[in-house]
Structure 1
Amino acid sequence: MENMHDDEMEIDLREIFYALKKRIFMILAVGLLCGCLSCVYTKFFMTPVYTSTSSMLVLTKETTLSSLADLQMGSQLTKDYTVLTTSREVLQKVIENQELNISYKALKSCITLDNPTDTRILNVSVTYPDAEKAKAIVDELANVASSYIGDKMEVIPPKIIEDGEIPTVQTSPSMSQNTMLGLLAGLILSAGIVVVITIMNDSIKTEDDIEKYLGISTLAVVPDRKDYIGKKKKSKKKKSSKGGRA
């Protein structure tokens, strides 16, 4: 029984392979079409966004690096600054100063905070559809957050060591990445459809299919009469044409 099941699986895989091979040009055409459509959609229908980054120094003048306690204090301050920088009061102040027509939650989703390993630097990034506005927002956010942190934590405000720049390259969407994703999606989709059609097609096409699906042996094969009739008609036409010429 195991051998029979193995043979059936081998035949099924072979049929799928030949079905894919037979329609390889159609699969490639669908993949290229989806890739082109994805490229066009990315170019004309997706809004590009830009990212600008500003940096703040977490350690203040009072903080020294003379002990392990000072290092731990710097790490803790970084976590506190991260929370306070995206607090509602800070974001609403930025929205008011920059006259933005968005909610503070929407602005918060545009902000990314990053603390490089073993440093006391806090990088603040803002992603926005307008490149110049992205720089203006990140600079305003750094200034407002620095003042707010100094006031609420009663410490010297963190020092802004780097202002944002006007980005010249869009962060997203990526034309090449979306085109490749569209191409792969088209290839996978078309190949999957071919595989499903092949598996669902249980029509009998050969003598082996009779034994496979019906479980009976083939005793004889009746030739296709269409080919014979077609050849017979052609031979009659040739004879008649020869007779007419004579």
Structure 2
Amino acid sequence: MEKEYEEIELRKLLSVILKKWWIIVLCLVVGTVATYIITTKYIQPVYEARTSLFIGKEKGDIGSISIGDFQLNSKLITDYREIAKSRLVATEVITNLGLNMPISTFRYNLSISTVKDSRLFTIKVKHANAKVATDVANEIATVLVEKVAQIIDVKNVQVIDEALEPSAPIQSNKRKNIAIAGALSIMVGLLIIFIIQLFDHTMKSEEDVERHLGLTVIGVIPKFKGGER
């Protein structure tokens, strides 16, 4: 009996959803259109420029690279990464390029990654302007080479690949945002239907009368259309 009751409730729920399908469609249209407009007009695209640097031997050093040299240079990468993120480098780069950017924003848009088991590391800069991202990445590399020579008194950092101006943004998630908005809109539509059904205490069938009042239905008044009698 309990299983039969659950099947009746499930059929009733599906019937309500099918009758109020327009609510789901309305939420879907509103959600996807709003997301498209917001993503296109109000969310700025983000570009990423990157430059690669290499830690080698100082000019004038002759001979092969020993394991000790490799380990030392691996440790130096950590030092160079922190120097690149320092206020000293940030201030000089911002001044040289005439940027109107606080140091906190500068650091937030800067990331430095190392290539595993190598002496290569990459400087990545994100910005809403592709040219600014490129200029900042290249200027960081230039200033870093100068500061390393001044602070550590070695000249073993060399730029391998200069940053090129990116042609496309990295965060172009328009389709993804619309797909997520569509799924959420459908869920919102279903939620609205469930809430309407939850607060709807009217009786619409003989089963409702028997279930809620415990009375047996002995007759039903048919509904006539128009002037038919």
Structure ranking higher in helix proportion: 1
CA distance in 2, matches of 1:82, 1:8: 66
Unpaired runs of 5+ in structure 2?
Answer: none
SS at match of 2:52: strand
Cα offset, 1:229, TM superposition: 9.1
Cα offset, 1:116, TM superposition: 2.9
The aligned counterpart of 1:30 is 27
User: How big is each residue's C-alpha offset from its partner over 1:63-117, in whole Å with a ceiling of 9 and x where there is no partner?
Assistant: 96543x5544343322222222111111111111111111100111111222233
Cα offset, 1:206, TM superposition: 1.4
Cα offset, 1:138, TM superposition: 0.7
Computed over aligned residues only, the root mean square deviation of the Cα atoms, in angstroms, reads 2.7
- Do residues 45 (structure 1) and 42 (structure 2) align? yes
The aligned counterpart of 2:15 is 18
* Residue identity matched to 1:168: S
The aligned counterpart of 1:239 is none
CA distance in 1, matches of 2:82, 2:212: 67
CA distance in 2, matches of 1:126, 1:87: 15
Structure 1 pair 154/166, CA: closer, same or farther in 2 (3 Å)?
A: same
- Do residues 54 (structure 1) and 51 (structure 2) align? yes
- Do residues 220 (structure 1) and 218 (structure 2) align? yes
Residues paired across the two proteins, number = 226
The aligned counterpart of 1:110 is 109
The aligned counterpart of 2:157 is 158
- Do residues 73 (structure 1) and 72 (structure 2) align? yes
TM-score by length of 1: 0.78
Structure 1 pair 158/9, CA: closer, same or farther in 2 (3 Å)?
A: farther
Structure 1 pair 218/54, CA: closer, same or farther in 2 (3 Å)?
A: same
The aligned counterpart of 1:149 is 148
Cα offset, 1:168, TM superposition: 1.0
Q: What does 1:95-134 correspond to in 2, within 5 Å? A: 95-134=94-133
The aligned counterpart of 1:196 is 195
Structure 1 pair 220/47, CA: closer, same or farther in 2 (3 Å)?
A: same
- Do residues 94 (structure 1) and 93 (structure 2) align? yes
Unpaired runs of 5+ in structure 1?
Answer: 233-246
* Residue identity matched to 2:157: P
User: How big is each residue's C-alpha offset from its partner over 1:202-226, in whole Å with a ceiling of 9 and x where there is no partner?
Assistant: 3221122233334x132423414x5
CA distance in 1, matches of 2:159, 2:225: 91
Do 1:131 and 1:167's aligned partners in 2 also have CA atoms closer than 8 Å? yes
Cα offset, 1:53, TM superposition: 0.6
Do 1:93 and 1:144's aligned partners in 2 also have CA atoms closer than 8 Å? yes
User: How big is each residue's C-alpha offset from its partner over 1:19-70, in whole Å with a ceiling of 9 and x where there is no partner?
Assistant: 2233335423431332222222222222222111111113445796543x55
SS at match of 2:182: helix
Higher Cα Rg, which structure: 1
- Of the structure 1 ranges 17-26 and 93-102, higher mean CA displacement relative to structure 2 is found in 17-26
Do 2:46 and 2:126's aligned partners in 1 also have CA atoms closer than 8 Å? yes
Cα offset, 1:174, TM superposition: 2.6
- Of the structure 1 ranges 13-22 and 139-148, higher mean CA displacement relative to structure 2 is found in 13-22
Do 1:126 and 1:137's aligned partners in 2 also have CA atoms closer than 8 Å? yes
Structure 1 pair 41/152, CA: closer, same or farther in 2 (3 Å)?
A: same
SS at match of 1:160: strand
- Of the structure 1 ranges 203-212 and 158-167, higher mean CA displacement relative to structure 2 is found in 203-212
Q: What does 1:153-192 correspond to in 2, within 5 Å? A: 153-192=152-191
Do 2:145 and 2:155's aligned partners in 1 also have CA atoms closer than 8 Å? no
* Residue identity matched to 2:221: P
CA distance in 1, matches of 2:65, 2:153: 21
Percent identity over the alignment is 22
CA distance in 1, matches of 2:95, 2:170: 26
